Chain A
Amino acid sequence: MPSLKITVNNQEHVVNVDGQTPLLWVIRETIGLTGTKYGCGIAQCGACTVHVDGSPVRSCSLPVSSVQDKKITTIEGLSQRGDHPVQLAWIEESVPQCGYCQSGQIMSAVALLKKHKDPSESEIAAAMSGNVCRCGTYLRIRKAIQRAALLIKENNLNTP
């Protein structure tokens, strides 16, 4: 197996895997960060969303060989203490039910708020429609994104 170098949450890992292996499985099984979830394997549900150089990508459909020189952030690397405004807003709005899709939802929401500081309901729906939640937490996700936007604005934070 080839030896590949990838950077996840600011930490470099050398992994011996087939370069075609989707990033998802390398993150979960090789590196052992299980917060990123497997949902569909064909980029349809968003449960596996991570950031590559700050942009949201579906890690289930991205060969690990394509992200060697890029910066990968997973849910575990979003903040040191679980206090990213989006995480705080998720806690405040008590968003999750089963929780399985929520890492992906949060990673998509963070990316949205980087682009749109104050997204409208339709902008939220458009940005989040790639993420499936079978429990049906969508109304709370929307409220949490609005709350996070407010938190960022009130605290004058640069969108992290």
Chain B
Amino acid sequence: MKVSRRNFIKFSSLAGGGLLLHMMLPGNSSNLTKASVFEPNLLVSIRSDNTVTFTLTKQEMGQGVTTGMPMIFADELGADLFAMKVLRSDYNAQFEYALQGITGGSSSIQNTWLPLRQAAATTREMLIQVAMEAWKADRRECYAENSMVIHRPTGRRATFGSLSVKAAHQPIPDKVSLKEPADFKYIGRPVKNLCTKQIVTGRYNFGIDITIPGLLYTSIERAPVHLGKIRSYNDLHARQVEGVVDIVKIEGMVRSLSVGVPGWDLFYDYTIEEGIAVVATSTWAALQGRKALKISWDDGPNAIAEDCFLKANIAGAKEADLHVNEQKGDVTAAFTRGEKIVEGYYETPFMAHSVMEPHNTTASVSGDRCELWSGTQFGKRFVDEVSSVLKIPVENVTCHVLPAGGGFGRNWEPDFAVEAALVSKAIQKPVKNIWTREDVIRHDFFHPPQHDIHRVALDDQKNIVAWNTDQYCCFKFPKDTPWNPYAYAVKNYRARKIDFSSPVETGPWRSVTEHKDVFTQEIFIDEVAHAAKADPLQYRLALLSKPIQLATDIPDRELKIKKLEADRQMTKQVLKFAAEKSGWRSKKNLGIAVGRFSSHCCQVSEVEIIRGKLFIKKVTVAIHCGTVVNPLQVETQLQGAVIFALQALYYGKITIKDGRVQESNFHDYKMLRMNEVPEISIHIVPSNDPPKGVGEPGVPPLAPSVINAIYAASGKRIRKIPILREDLI
């Protein structure tokens, strides 16, 4: 790696696809005058008292970056992880996308792995250089550990702090080498959540816990139907509630938003729903004031929407409306030649994120400046949107990114921050916008429903000769094509899709879009295996081992085949690993399913159906996530993902009637509770590949694995979630 000394250095991040990391060097006078602090880049400062402070650029929402990223950095730097301070960074435009950007897509560890190590290694080499010069030692004799540089032959040691003043004047090394995996001290070892002490003593501050002088509170009554408008309102009684200080009307608006990922040229619309904000001296007073509002609503274009709208739209759709996303061979012709047709229709519903910490943002607007405090997954978007809506310069908006009580994709939508900023602008005072649980459930950006029709033709040898997938959804991210590793070996394959417009907001949910696709495909392939009278595991493995079918004239054919082959290999690895660990050969009532979201993940569920009631006894999980940074973290994320997916399986459906979301709180939108959790056994495929994500890949395989197990146990084929009692009788 070549690092040049200039005002800043640029590192190429392999994982980020050639994105650049800019890091300020101590070249400017302000840094040099603070002689006791060594700040070689924006990620770390080392004080002469040996305090090492690491700047955490990603947001924490339970996925464990506050432990994982410091582990990587401390390991490469040679710092004492447990003595290192971790400072949560505000949104900072100086950080390149790979290092801060969106916290989502299970990408944090994957994208920051190399930039963190490169920055840490550069810092380490500058410290070692100072020690080497003082000791007249050779580089090979020195190493860094526990925030010290150590001279191996003599045992001499110098703390980072004692070297920091001189290190600040060191030239930036042109080339640094990274540690060999054998030398890792923390990476690969189970490290407990570094935040736990703060959490268990109630001293860990989420966005909702922020308080600032003069803070007021607001609760907003929003349009009960998406895109509804206020006809008229009366706030007389609301204003009489003790503690209520102001009422602010929020004008509904639909705004276009960049998806925000470099290289992905996608804009989509999102809505700030129309509403009335009650501002008060306490949350309780704001809530009481809100109850006293009288609003007459024009329900607008979604006034009669029902959650079954998708079925009606599908019935009215013409074949020509289906957009062909992927096609090879001649599917239509091949179907006419097939001996046997297998077909299935699968459904996933609207589902809510239901994060534990109700959405909130504190905003303080004063003139043309705005300060935000929020548990956002995407600080840049919050700053950009608030700047744009308030028509103030983007550099005048700051965003303090706080830990969130869950995110799952909901906390990258900026609606609640824009609301807070609008209210604060109107009253020119700091205000905390707190959503109620009912707001959180009813005004979610829901997991969109999707109906898929899979159809294959088998020849007389039970080989798949044609496969067609038609997907009907209402998601605002157009997606190319579902991941289908089985189709690599199918000569005639076609994937088509229509995205209808949705009567409620939709957005990425834990695993973004993968859950819907894997759900349908993994049930379907199970059905095909049974139709072919084959073992579902062996049938999958056989399909994944046949020659890859790719037209001879496509560009980069060899490279593409190589990529597909690597993908199939990992798919097979996790399938075999989960099967072996679950006792696939010897046990009954098992169902298997595999998915890919960053990492490949396979699950085997073991079920029992007693008097028409489903009992999930055990879920065995295998994951291929490359180098494991923190095995404890992998385990907790996968346990969590299974439990998240179980909630969807049992209770996930959101109902819409007359445009209104019917569920409102945990009594009618149930969460999974402790007594409903099965045994979960986690297995990691050993690998030296660069690390991949683990927060989301555990979600998609769960539901199809359970449904396939139900078939194995009872012969009942379920093709939708949630599973209801009547589905089992």
A interface residue numbers (CB < 8 A to B): 1, 17-18, 21-22, 25, 28-30, 32-42, 44-45, 47, 74-76, 78-79, 82, 87, 90-92, 94-103, 106, 122, 124-126, 128-129, 131-142
Contact = CB atoms under 8 A, between A and B. Distances in A.
Interface in B180-215: 192-193, 195-197, 199-206, 208-209, 211
Contacts of B202: 33-36, 74-76, 103
Given A41-B437, A76-B201, A87-B200, A100 B192 contact: no
B63 A90 contact: no
A94 B632 contact: yes
A159 to B, nearest CB: 17
B357 A100 contact: yes
Contact of A134 (B204, B206, B639, B671): B671
B62 interface: yes
A1 B217 CA distance: 18
A41 B288 CA distance: 13
Interface residues of B, number: 60
A41 B672 CA distance: 18
Given A95-B196, A139-B639, 14 more contacts: A18-B285, A32-B211, A78-B201, A82-B201, A94-B636, A96-B195, A96-B199, A97-B640, A98-B405, A100-B206, A106-B200, A128-B674, A132-B356, A136-B642
Interface in B657-677: 665-667, 671-675, 677
A37 B357 contact: yes
Contacts, number: 188
Nearest to A32: B211
25 contacts: A32-B211, A42-B437, A44-B665, A45-B671, A74-B202, A76-B201, A90-B196, A90-B199, A90-B200, A91-B192, A94-B196, A96-B196, A96-B199, A98-B60, A98-B404, A98-B406, A99-B206, A103-B199, A103-B202, A129-B673, A134-B406, A134-B671, A136-B639, A137-B639, A138-B677
Given A40-B437, A45-B666, A99-B405, A137 B199 contact: no
Contact of A136 (B208, B644, B675): B644
Given A17-B282, A99-B195, A135 B675 contact: no
Contacts of B358: 38-39
A96 B193 contact: yes
Top 10 A-B pairs, shortest CB-CB distance = A35-B202, A100-B405, A98-B62, A136-B643, A75-B202, A94-B192, A97-B62, A136-B640, A44-B666, A99-B199
Contacts of A44: 665-667
Interface of A is mostly: loop
Nearest to B202: A35
B340 to A, nearest CB: 41
Most B CB contacts (10 A, CB to CB) among A99, A138, A141 go to A99
Contacts of B63: 97
Contacts of A21: 282, 284
A76 B539 CA distance: 56
B61 interface: yes
**A39, A98, A133 — which one has the most chain B CB atoms within 10 A of its CB?**
A98
Nearest to B358: A38
B354 interface: yes
Contacts of B436: 41
Contacts of B354: 134
A134 B199 contact: no
Nearest to A35: B202
B284 A25 contact: yes
Give the one of B64, B206, B677 with max A CB within 10 A: B677
Nearest to B680: A139
Nearest to A140: B636
Contacts of A41: 436-437, 665
B355 interface: yes
Interface in B383-442: 403-406, 434, 436-437
A29 B216 CA distance: 10
B469 interface: no
B362 interface: no
Contacts of B642: 136
Contacts of B667: 42, 44
Nearest to B203: A35
B336 to A, nearest CB: 48
A138 B405 contact: no
A91 B673 contact: no
Nearest to B206: A100
B665 A42 contact: yes
A39 B440 CA distance: 10
Nearest to B679: A139
Contacts of A91: 192, 196-197, 200
A25 B283 contact: yes
Contacts of B203: 35, 76
B348 to A, nearest CB: 19
A126 to B, nearest CB: 7
B185 to A, nearest CB: 19
A63 B267 CA distance: 47
B282 A25 contact: yes
Nearest to B667: A44
Contact of B356 (A18, A33, A39): A39
Nearest to A127: B674
B645 to A, nearest CB: 9
- Which residue among B193, B217, B356 has the maximum number of chain A CB atoms within 10 Å of its CB? B356
A35 B437 CA distance: 18
Given A97-B63, A99-B204, A139 B677 contact: yes
B242 interface: yes
Given A18-B242, A44-B666, A94-B636, A39 B674 contact: no
B325 to A, nearest CB: 33
A79 B197 CA distance: 12
A95 B196 CA distance: 8
Nearest to B645: A136
A47 B437 CA distance: 12
Interface in B52-79: 60-64
Contacts of B675: 122, 125-126, 129
Contacts of A29: 211, 217, 282-284
Nearest to B196: A91
